């Protein structure tokens, strides 16, 4: 009989302190699972994919009993550690994204990503959340070099083909937004939703309702077949469920799924202490991704006690899903250099928070999605752009599980399966070399 078990050392570990979480009051978590319960569906993971799946399951069939198991506290994991972009258009502007791709493939990607945006926006409107939690303000893609400027122009040309709206900005135009003279050009796409990721994921968790029950501090430690159902064991209880949605991204590999097919990569962010809005010109709230795929993401966030700036860059391959203090410290040094380059007038501003967040990539950039064993559906392998792809993956898994055909399930069913990685040490060498080369190619971007 098939059994999937993990040990205590396999549970998620999150490096550093997320500034998004630290900016919020402490969370009062839902009670941990204690004792044996039954459910129609168990969702493992209360991140973006798992909570989107749970909410969608309840929308489709409000009578379903759904148990959501979260190893830690909602918001403390990767969902509360990303940069907060739920994007409707492809994230990167390099020719790698679009060169030679059929327009239909691009439109399918946009359809997928817009389902995630619509899900978030509908939720925010339903709950009456303020713009500090979700702001449908769009995003800027910024360049600092002639190559970056060329990427911006190429991207605009592709958006023309797709009939998508945008606005180009010259050096003066993007300086009016960011208060920085470092950027040479930019493009603004209006359809991106910008969220405070920790506040958003907490809010989503607290609005599940119906027959959906969330258990925090309840890691799944074992999956065991029980007749036609599955038994999910936690440290203090168990759930017997007919079906499971596995929404724990890279940690699916700990249970034996997608083994040798997931690349475990971490990215890093730093957030400044508050500063007087008068210290920096431009708008008080904006969000920008880099022209180069491996460049630097930036956000300015206003608050009642002042503003903060976020810097995100640096990628490392960590197959053991563990990041040491030295890695986080080195990423922080890079952030400090990039921050000083972009905002020299604030170069003495202290970084109050530094943290890392996990991603799971596949060799052929497809999701780790679908029925992986009878009754177990995966919504994993988000390949970056986690707030968008994880949400869409969870929605698609719920719809596929309940036989609800949608454009989203059509797109997900069309993805290839994740390719097997080369044997070690070739994967280790190849992944680290590729990340280093791409970061070097990004240069100052």
The domain that holds 316 is classified in CATH as 3.30.9.10
Euclidean distance between CA atoms 378 and 393, whole angstroms: 9
Residue bearing tokens 């630097």:
296
**Phi first, then psi: what are they for 134, rounded to 5°?**
-145, 130
Question: Are 175 and 282 part of one and the same domain?
Answer: yes
Question: Are 184 and 322 part of one and the same domain?
Answer: yes
* Containing structural domain, residue 347: 138-195+264-362+430-442
Partners of 225 in the β-ladder? 230
Q: Note the pLDDT of residue 92.
A: 54
* Assessment of whether the complete model's pTM goes beyond 0.85: yes
Question: Are 388 and 314 part of one and the same domain?
Answer: no
For 375-402, how does the pLDDT look when each residue is reduced to its tens digit (9 = 90+)?
Answer: 999 999 988 888 999 999 999 999 999 9
Q: Low-confidence residues of the chain, pLDDT below 70? A: 1-2, 91-102
Token duo for residue 142: 């910024």
| Domain contains 104 | no
Q: Rounded to the nearest 10 degrees, how much is the dihedral formed by the CA atoms of 110, 399, 5, 74?
A: 70
Local structure of residue 279 (DSSP, 8 states): G
| Domain contains 107 | no
Q: Note the pLDDT of residue 443.
A: 80
Euclidean distance between CA atoms 265 and 432, whole angstroms: 10
| Domain contains 128 | no
CB 258 within 8 A of CB 264: no
Taking alpha carbons only, the member of 309, 375, 303, 313 closest to residue 345 is 309
All residues at 6 or more sequence positions from 284 whose CB lies less than 8 Å from its CB, including other chains: 277, 300, 302, 307
Specify the number of domains making up the chain: 2
Q: Note the pLDDT of residue 429.
A: 83
Question: Are 159 and 268 part of one and the same domain?
Answer: yes
Question: Are 226 and 318 part of one and the same domain?
Answer: no
| Domain contains 40 | yes
For 150-185, how does the pLDDT look when each residue is reduced to its tens digit (9 = 90+)?
Answer: 999 999 999 998 999 999 999 999 999 999 999 999
Q: Note the pLDDT of residue 412.
A: 97
| Domain contains 129 | no
Residue bearing tokens 């590999």:
253
Q: Note the pLDDT of residue 442.
A: 77
Question: Are 254 and 224 part of one and the same domain?
Answer: yes
Burial of 168 (0-12, 13-18, 19+ CB in 10 A): middle
Q: Note the pLDDT of residue 346.
A: 96
Question: Are 301 and 346 part of one and the same domain?
Answer: yes
Question: Are 17 and 153 part of one and the same domain?
Answer: no
The greatest distance separating any two alpha carbons of the chain, rounded to the nearest whole angstrom, comes to: 66
Rounded to 10°, the helix 197-205/48-60 angle is 30
Question: Are 310 and 272 part of one and the same domain?
Answer: yes
| Domain contains 153 | yes
Residue-wise burial string across 223-262, b where 16 or more C-beta atoms lie within 10 A, e elsewhere: bbeeeebbbbbbeebbbbbbbbbbbbbbbbbbbebbeebb
Euclidean distance between CA atoms 364 and 366, whole angstroms: 6
Euclidean distance between CA atoms 436 and 431, whole angstroms: 9
| Domain contains 399 | yes
Q: Note the pLDDT of residue 1.
A: 43
Token duo for residue 349: 């501003």
Q: How many CA atoms lie within 13 A of 353 on its CB side?
A: 21
Q: Note the pLDDT of residue 385.
A: 86
Euclidean distance between CA atoms 185 and 142, whole angstroms: 6
Question: Are 403 and 333 part of one and the same domain?
Answer: no
Taking alpha carbons only, the member of 217, 239, 258 closest to residue 379 is 258
Euclidean distance between CA atoms 257 and 151, whole angstroms: 37
For 295-334, how does the pLDDT look when each residue is reduced to its tens digit (9 = 90+)?
Answer: 999 999 999 999 999 999 999 999 999 999 999 999 999 9
E strands in 101-177: 134-135, 139-143, 167-169
Question: Are 337 and 255 part of one and the same domain?
Answer: no
Taking alpha carbons only, the member of 304, 354, 289, 325 closest to residue 19 is 354
| Domain contains 102 | no
Question: Are 185 and 290 part of one and the same domain?
Answer: yes
Q: In this structure, what CATH number is given to the domain that contains residue 19?
A: 3.50.50.60
Euclidean distance between CA atoms 369 and 412, whole angstroms: 8
């Amino acid at each position: 009989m098939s059994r999937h078990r993990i040990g205590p050392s396999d549970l998620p570990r999150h490096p550093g302190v997320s500034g998004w979480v630290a900016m919020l009051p402490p969370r009062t978590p839902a009670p941990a699972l204690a004792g044996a319960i039954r459910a129609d569906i168990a969702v493992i993971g209360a991140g973006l994919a798992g909570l989107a799946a749970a909410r969608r399951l309840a929308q489709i069939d409000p009578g379903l009993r759904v148990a959501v198991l979260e190893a830690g506290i909602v918001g403390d994991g990767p969902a509360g550690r990303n940069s907060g972009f739920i994007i409707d258009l492809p994230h990167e502007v390099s020719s790698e994204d679009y060169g030679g791709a059929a327009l239909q493939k691009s439109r399918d990607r946009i359809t997928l990503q817009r389902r995630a945006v619509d899900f978030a926006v509908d939720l925010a409107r339903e709950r009456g959340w303020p713009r500090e939690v979700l702001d449908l303000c769009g995003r800027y893609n910024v360049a600092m070099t002639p190559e970056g400027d060329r990427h911006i122009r190429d991207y605009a040309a592709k958006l023309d083909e797709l009939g998508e709206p945008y606005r180009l900005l010259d050096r003066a135009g993007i300086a009016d937004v960011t208060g920085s003279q470092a950027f040479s050009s930019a493009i603004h796409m209006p359809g991106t939703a910008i969220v405070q990721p920790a506040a958003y994921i907490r809010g989503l968790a607290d609005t599940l309702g119906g027959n959906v029950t969330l258990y925090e501090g309840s890691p799944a430690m074992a999956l065991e077949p029980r007749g036609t159902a599955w038994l999910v064991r936690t440290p203090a209880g168990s759930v017997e469920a007919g079906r499971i949605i596995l929404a724990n991204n890279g940690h699916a590999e700990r249970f034996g799924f997608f083994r040798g097919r997931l690349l475990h990569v971490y990215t890093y962010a730093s957030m400044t202490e508050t500063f007087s809005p008068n210290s920096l010109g431009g708008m008080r709230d904006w969000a920008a991704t880099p022209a180069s795929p491996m460049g630097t993401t930036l956000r300015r966030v206003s608050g009642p006690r002042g503003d903060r700036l976020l810097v995100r860059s640096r990628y490392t391959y960590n197959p053991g899903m563990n990041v040491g203090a030295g890695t986080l410290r080195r990423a922080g040094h890079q952030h400090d250099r990039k921050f000083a380059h972009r905002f020299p007038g604030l170069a003495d501003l202290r970084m109050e928070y530094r943290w890392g967040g996990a991603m799971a990539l596949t060799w052929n950039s497809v999701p780790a999605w679908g029925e992986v064993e009878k009754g177990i559906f995966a919504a994993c392998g988000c390949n970056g752009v986690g707030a968008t792809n994880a949400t869409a993956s969870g929605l698609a898994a719920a719809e596929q599980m309940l036989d609800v055909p949608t454009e989203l399930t059509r797109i997900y069913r069309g993805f290839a399966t994740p390719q097997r990685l080369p044997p070690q040490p070739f994967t280790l060498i190849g992944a680290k070399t590729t990340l280093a080369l791409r970061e070097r190619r990004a240069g100052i971007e």
